[in-house]
Amino acid sequence: MSFSDEVRIISRVAWTIAVLAAAGLFVGLVVAVTHDREMRQWPLIGQAAFCLGVPLFLMAVILLIGYINADARRRGMRYVMWTLLALFLPNSLGIILYFVLRDPILKPCPKCGAPSRPNFTYCPQCGAELAPACPTCKRAVDQGWKRCAYCGVALGE
């Protein structure tokens, strides 16, 4: 998937919250810079960078949390738990943990279309074979294997 496809999964609610929070913070910072003596002494480029940089960073964090919510939902994970972890764990630890521990994207069953994990051998809905399996132990095997790594039975080619 491309970057634009990934950005499209962020909900409109997350975009609205991010834009409103960034706009509100921008207005608050502009007011703070114009009323504070020390900040008025900053160079104009520093004032502009401060008034724009902080709200843009806040907007990026909110959109990242919105992405985690949508992506965890797409992957069949506990999206509420991951959203709350990303929101409340300090130092972006929840965001980092999500990207380290996230599950693979679910794939549809070719027979019934039910979502299933990519490492499943059989569809949990209809029982269709999703990947090659050992005829004896029914565990997943790779295409090039001559014997099952789990039970040792010879695999037909």
Residue 69 Cα to chain centre, angstroms: 7
Mean pLDDT of the chain: 92
CA torsion 95→97→101→105, rounded to 10°?
A: 0
pLDDT band at 54 (very low <50, low <70, confident <90, very high): very high
Q: Which of 92, 95, 90, 131 is nearest to 110 (CA)?
A: 131
Q: Are residues 110 and 73 in the same domain?
A: no
pLDDT band at 71 (very low <50, low <70, confident <90, very high): very high
- Give the structural domain span for 111: 106-157
Q: Are residues 117 and 95 in the same domain?
A: no
Q: Are residues 65 and 12 in the same domain?
A: yes
Q: Are residues 79 and 114 in the same domain?
A: no
Q: Give the C-alpha separation, 134 to 111, whole Å.
A: 20
Reading the block at residue 72, the tokens are: 């965890």
Long-range Cβ contact pairs of 28-32 (< 8 A, separation 24 or more): 29/54, 29/55
pLDDT at 36: 92
pLDDT at 80: 97
Question: Which pLDDT tens digit goes with each residue over 89-98?
Answer: 999 999 999 9
pLDDT at 157: 57
Question: Which pLDDT tens digit goes with each residue over 107-128?
Answer: 899 999 998 888 888 898 998 8
Q: Are residues 131 and 62 in the same domain?
A: no
pLDDT at 131: 84
Q: Which of 105, 111, 102 is nearest to 74 (CA)?
A: 105
Q: Are residues 89 and 28 in the same domain?
A: yes
Task: Return the H-helix or E-strand segment holding 107.
Answer: strand 107-108
Q: Are residues 22 and 39 in the same domain?
A: yes
Question: Which pLDDT tens digit goes with each residue over 125-154?
Answer: 998 888 888 889 888 888 888 999 999 999
Is the sign of the CA dihedral 74, 79, 85, 88 positive or negative?
positive
Q: Are residues 137 and 121 in the same domain?
A: yes
Q: Are residues 124 and 86 in the same domain?
A: no
Q: Are residues 98 and 113 in the same domain?
A: no
* Residue bearing tokens 């985690």: 68
Q: Are residues 43 and 96 in the same domain?
A: yes
Q: Are residues 44 and 97 in the same domain?
A: yes
- CB neighbour burial string for 63-81, b if at least 16 within 10 angstroms, e if fewer: bbbbbbbbbbbebebebee
Identify any residues that bridge with 116 across adjacent strands, giving them in sequence order.
107
Q: Is the pTM of this model over 0.75?
A: yes
The count of structural domains within the chain is: 2
